[in-house]
Amino acid sequence: MESHGTVRFRTGCRREMPGQSKIFATIALFLICFTGARAQYVRLLPEIQHYVYRTVAVWDTTVFVSAGWSPELMFSNDQLKTVSYKPFNFPSPDGWVDCFGLTMTNASTIFMSAVKRHYVSRDTGNTWTVISPDYPNSLIFSSPTDGMFCSLGKVHFTKDAGNTWSVVNFAVPNYRCEARGIFANGNMFVTFDSKLYMSTNNGATWTDPGLPQDYFSNNLHIWGGTNAFFHTAGKIQFTSNSGVNWNVVFTPPAPVNILKVFSHDSVYAFKPSTAELILYRNQFATEEVLHRFTPGSDILDLEFASRSHLVVILGNDSLGRFAVSKDGGHTFTPVRQRQVVRPDIMKFFNHLEGSVIYDGAWGTWFIYTTDGGTTWSNDSPITNLPNYAYKRTPESLTSFLEVNDFKLLRYTHGTGYSDIFNGTVLQQRPSRVYLHSDSTYFLITDTASYPPQSKLWKSTDRGGNWSPVFKYQPGYRLHDIFLHDDSTGFAILDTNIVKIRNGGESWEGIPMFEFDKTEDIPGAYRIIRSFNDSTVYVRQNNKFFRTTNSGKNWEKYLFHDAAFLTGVIFTSPDTGYAAMAGTSPLRITTDGGRIWMRAYYPANSGSPYSMSVTDQNRIYIGTLWGLFYTDNLGGQPLGIETDESFTGVPGKFSLSQNWPNPFNPSTTVYFDLPEDSETGITVYNIMGEMVRSVPTEFRQKGRHTINFNAGDLPSGVYILTVTAGNNRASIKMVLLK
């Protein structure tokens, strides 16, 4: 293929452009429709990735729960009767972080401990600021006003609820020091390795308080400003004078973890050996077992909304990760809000109605929406059946079809599975189902014996009854099918693309493009769509193929920076969308796949798993980190793939829209020649005056590039026209300076 560099234009005299009267009628519409705005993606299902709960923070009726590595916080202001989710918009360029601690110091202020930095929000999680240097250790608040943390051999502490922070050197300049607690008078305790250090003068000096230590000492539990319990070396120590003097008050027979202290008479602790939540009274003189969790489980965090209302984060318990108690800790109820790990399969039937199959923290679920994703149905659990083949096809708003061993199943929301095809007796194993219309389905089956033999079935009543359409010769496998009308379409048969006639009762081969036998597997080819008896689009791995003359000429496009194509959708012969695992996950074409433009994509969202395009050109994208949609085609595309990715002789003459458009001062245009021809290029202004031209010259078949520089022209609408033999095409370009 020949690709030319810059085409040099020459200025021309005043001359009326052919068809000028049609230009004025379309200019206003063109300018109104144009948008150069960046994509505005709306995020749906904000519960994505809420499945590794680490910590909980409570203030009165306000509850925040954070996942470990998550872009949101769960929020409730009615003690978890209802919940919502707030995105955590990081103020630093770290990306998402691993959150391991939350503390609320009043009804609107939240402190977050994270791996790279600590953060604070003073407006209930709407905005966040950084409060620490890099890689600090745990942030603790011993009271709503007194807090501290260590970082890189320094101790940071606050006495005014984090409004200001003081920084002092620690006794040992080492990043492994851990803050343990700060009293109302400013006395601070820090551990390093197995030693406890104390400062009574705001960190000016550090001394050893003389307490026995081990590597498993936990935080000081301070109450009343001067009182504290400290569990260390298998003993529980008590102070009533801000840590100046300590004495042993209890030696538990088995290890316990103190969780919450209200007073001498109210200490909540967890006993790992028996997985018991215990309430100690009378300074550990008596104990009451409140609740026994699953043996081997753990309490990761516990907070009180009131003395009777507890919120707990659990590890390895049958209740799940998150549970609440409304009777002081005697009984717990799991909180199983929707926790989406990944939206696997998604289909929107119009801009309002769509369904999603997602993997969650406790299985796979099916949901649907009727308002564009603002609200969703209840979650319907999906049981992954034996021999599950990972082949599910959305059927309607409330159902999908699933290929499973010798059966084709229908799953209905709230009801479950039912058989609509059973090939057990006939030893016919379904491999693919194609939904031609609301009621007409085609099913491909293969014999269980070797060599496999494919059979095509048809149903005209949504799978109620099936009749055989065609039985292929032994050794020939039918891999895919698409019909553009009731009788005609294309299919992948073994290693060939064939034309289907008479509703599948007959077929004929068409010339096949050459595939790389060392890389390509013919069965992995998929029909994207056919539009008429001669036009079909095909995809495989990171390749796109098209023919417009029944295989006489094939054009191939290689997405060289993508590992594979997740999905390709064409809404018309010209307009298509491609989602892929690559550096530019979303591409758009407006010329039938000859040129693919990179489009804006939601930041920090991962590779796309699924894509759906509605009749109003709304694009839905399901990724590892979210479900998004945009109504402006992903915003103005970012750029055009180089024509080095395009191979093959074009099947017809065509002229691409310029990119960028509007432009200033340069723009690029491509045109394709199916055969060698004399070619001329002319540019007119809106008045029909010729402003640039290239003399007619002989050009070889293939793709050609025009680089148009309008540095000396005023802003306005210009018309570029290319003539090649008897062919002629024009495009409108907008120059904005």
CA distance 203 to 179: 12
Give the start-end residues of each E strand in 296-384. 298-304, 310-315, 322-325, 333-334, 340-348, 354-360, 363-369, 380-382
DSSP 391-427: EEEEEETTEEEEEETTEEEEEETTTEEEEEEE-TTTT
Going by C-alpha positions, the residue among 300, 309, 279, 282 that lies closest to residue 291 is 279
Provide the token pair at 285.
């003189």
- pLDDT of amino acid 24: 33
- The CA-based angle 225-228-231, given to 5 degrees, is 160
Lowest mean pLDDT of 2-11, 334-343, 594-603, 712-721, name the range.
2-11
Residue 326 φ then ψ, to 5°:
-115, 10
Question: How many residues are present in the chain?
Answer: 737
- pLDDT of amino acid 643: 41
Q: Is CATH 2.60.40.1930 the classification given to domain 20-36+649-735?
A: yes
Going by C-alpha positions, the residue among 162, 65, 80, 72 that lies closest to residue 122 is 162
Going by C-alpha positions, the residue among 551, 577, 669 that lies closest to residue 629 is 577
In the predicted structure, residue 33 carries a pLDDT above the cut 50: no
Residue with tokens 């970012």: 638
In the predicted structure, residue 583 carries a pLDDT above the cut 80: yes
Provide the token pair at 637.
């595309």
Q: What is the pLDDT of residues 553-568, one digit of tens each?
A: 888 888 888 888 999 9
- pLDDT of amino acid 241: 97
In the predicted structure, residue 518 carries a pLDDT above the cut 70: no
DSSP 659-726: BSSSBSSEEEEEEEESS-EEEEEEEEETTS-EEEEEEEEEE-SEEEEEEEE-TTS-SEEEEEEEEETT
Whole-prediction pTM value? 0.64
CA distance 430 to 427: 10
In this structure, are strands 388-396 and 399-404 parallel, antiparallel, or unpaired? antiparallel
Segment 479-483 mean pLDDT: 93
- pLDDT of amino acid 468: 94
Provide the token pair at 175.
């990043």
In the predicted structure, residue 110 carries a pLDDT above the cut 90: yes
Please give the CATH topology (third level) of the domain spanning 136-251. Answer: Neuraminidase (2.120.10)
Residue with tokens 């409730």: 76
**Which DSSP state fits 7?**
P
Task: Place 82 in a pLDDT band, splitting at 50, 70 and 90.
Answer: confident
- The CA-based angle 618-621-627, given to 5 degrees, is 110
- pLDDT of amino acid 617: 77
By the 8 A CB rule, do 304 and 56 touch? Answer: no
- pLDDT of amino acid 44: 84
Q: How far apart are the first and last CA of the chain?
A: 35
Determine how many CB atoms are found less than 10 A away from the CB of residue 645: 17
Q: Is 734 helix (H, G, I), strand (E, B) or coil?
A: strand
**Which DSSP state fits 38?**
B
CA distance 488 to 564: 29
Q: Where in the chain is the domain with CATH 2.60.40.1930?
A: 20-36+649-735
Q: Where in the chain is the domain with CATH 2.120.10.30?
A: 136-251
Q: What is the pLDDT of residues 320-374, one digit of tens each?
A: 778 999 999 999 998 766 667 778 899 999 989 999 998 876 678 999 999 998 8
Task: Place 118 in a pLDDT band, splitting at 50, 70 and 90.
Answer: very high
- The CA-based angle 199-202-206, given to 5 degrees, is 25
Lowest mean pLDDT of 398-407, 464-473, 477-486, 508-517, name the range.
508-517
Q: What is the pLDDT of residues 590-639, one digit of tens each?
A: 888 888 888 888 877 788 989 999 977 789 999 877 788 988 664 455 45
Q: Is 645 helix (H, G, I), strand (E, B) or coil?
A: helix
Question: Which residue type is seen at 203?
Answer: G
Q: What is the 3-state secondary structure (H, E, C) of 136-161?
A: CCCCEECCCCCEEEEECCEEEEECCC
Provide the token pair at 418.
């039912």
